[in-house]
Amino acid sequence: MRLAFIGTGYVGLVTGTCMAEMGHDVICADIDKKKIQNLKKGIIPIYEMGLEELVERNIKEGRLTFTTDIRHAIEESEVVFNAVGTPEDKKTGQADLQYVFAVAESFGKYINKYKIFVNKSTVPVGTAEKVSAIIKKYNKKNIEFDAVSNPEFLREGAAVKDFLNPDRVVVGVSSERAKKVMEKIYKPIARIGRPIVFTDVKSAEIIKYASNAFLATKISFINEIANFCEKVGGNVKEISKGMGLDSRVGNRFLQAGIGYGGSCFPKDVKALIHTGKENGYEFKIASAVDEVNQKQKLRAFQILKNRMKNLKGKNVTLWGLSFKPRTDDIREAPSLDTTENILAMGGNILAFDPVAEENMKKNFRTKKIKYFSNPYLALKNSDVLMIMTEWDEFRNPDYEKMTRLMRGKIIIDGRNVLDRSEAESEGFEYFGIGV
């Protein structure tokens, strides 16, 4: 089928490329001229395992093209996927839908035959109705269309795998015609036995927020248990294992640490809370989840502050800057707040991350942060090591080498990737989260 993706950010680029890999003819459109020029050359703006190879192959085979001509993309496609951003309003937590509405306006202007408008972006319940109203306003020829909700469930760092072999695909439709078209699009996924779940449009919109809020709840819950362990004793790693072996609970998202970040969980939890208020409902659990996470993101810094008292002139090494491993995304990452607070107290930062350095530099333009090409170089004359991201290469460190390089012998492990007894046996003062 001929598909268009408006917006070549994380969701649009990954989804559009994977649709091309499944055999569809895909046009990815964006108003960012430089980004489109780079994509035509195979230059990828995000770090995502396996994506570069898929983009290159599908461009070569003619199934994937890039353009800044939004009109062309809409007119030439049977189905148009809206994949623009829905950033959080920092004051209210509300999802900003201005870009979604702009795409809907363009769709209404340029629709030339029956088409489907698909919201792939994460949007609050009721957005499809608003989008439909906008399309009708600009659809002067009253050409038939359907508005569909098809939320994405991609994990950064595993997005290609998640799309091609998903737990499920959720599609909210309001007509049998739209359902048949969406079934055709996802036929390659259905063939490998993955469920395609069809619902009404509003239920599909809610499923996305409910899923992310529930996973965020598991994270904040285990972080509260970890904080409790620090008060009364107990090892949260053992507790997580004991809980996770219960099939009703499961072991995923039960790793204690310094909170969740990224482009989804923080934004989606806040948006759900705000949408509840708009509709006269208070999400008490989601509100508590958000409150716990905001505090937890500063847990490693609190440990540092309590232990060091004065950071003026001290060198603090940060291992990991991204909000999670296998991505260069630092949005809402605990490293951001931690960095701000260390700098505010007069400390210097020696930083290493395999892929997120350039994004960090965009946020902090100061000589008090130095970046290094490997984790050990970042330890020279360091007073304390803080582990902010659970990259695999941090799990088995060379303690002897660390001792030679570091000025101090303090480790604050914000992700519990190290073994306390092993670190302490090597002469380090170790602080984990609930262990």
| 264 belongs to the catalytic site | yes
User: How buried is residue 246: exposed, middle or buried, by Cβ count under 10 Å (0-12/13-18/19+)?
Assistant: exposed
Calculated CA dihedral for residues 70, 76, 78, 83, nearest 10 degrees: -20
Considering the candidates 18, 28, 229, 264, report the single residue annotated as catalytic.
264
Backbone angles phi, psi at 208, to 5 degrees: -60, -50
User: How buried is residue 211: exposed, middle or buried, by Cβ count under 10 Å (0-12/13-18/19+)?
Assistant: middle
Q: HSE-up of 373 (CA within 13 Å, CB side)?
A: 0
Instruction: Say how far apart CA 340 and CA 332 lie, in whole Å.
Output: 13
Residue 349 identity (one-letter amino acid) = I
Nearest to 411, CA basis, from 303, 298, 263: 303
Residue entry with tokens 């509300």:
94
Backbone angles phi, psi at 66, to 5 degrees: -130, 140
306 Cβ neighbours under 8 A, 6+ residues apart? none
Indicate which residues carry an active-site annotation.
Answer: 264
